[in-house]
Amino acid sequence: MEGREQAEEEETRITKPTWTERFTYWRPDAKFLGMGMNGGWRHPLPVYEFTCPKHGLMRDIPRGYEEALVCPECCREVDDGLNDRHEKVLRVA
Ligand SMILES: [Zn+2]
């Protein structure tokens, strides 16, 4: 879907977190920056800052049922790459 991809390229606006949000969204593996809103999202989502071993400091929202934080650049490489690249990324993780 072209429209959805364009929306995800928009810059995410992050609001300064309240104490309640800091408490609610705290996690040990990443720094909670605040609730973010993006043209491509229906609701504000918690945005985290974390370090990717390959790409350095990254920002993203938790994905999937396990709320995993995955480097967006690594995801893009998996999406764009061939199967052998995909396997390499999975082995690193
Ligand atoms: Zn990465």
2-39 pLDDT, tens digit each: 445 554 456 889 999 999 999 999 999 999 999 999 88
Ligand 1 center–CA 76 separation, angstroms? 9
Sheet containing strand 56-60, edge to edge, reads 13-15, 31-37, 45-52, 56-60
Question: pLDDT grade, residue 76 (50/70/90)?
Answer: confident
Average pLDDT, the chain: 82
Ligand 1 center–CA 33 separation, angstroms? 19
What is the C-alpha separation between 45 and 14, in angstroms, rounded?
Answer: 9
What would the DSSP string read from start to end of 13-65? Answer: EEEPPPHHHHHHH-BTTBEEEEEEE-TT-SS-EEEEEEEETTTEEEEE--BTT
Mean of pLDDT values over 77-88: 60
- Residue 86: the pLDDT is 47
Ligand 1 center–CA 11 separation, angstroms? 19
What is the C-alpha separation between 90 and 93, in angstroms, rounded?
Answer: 5
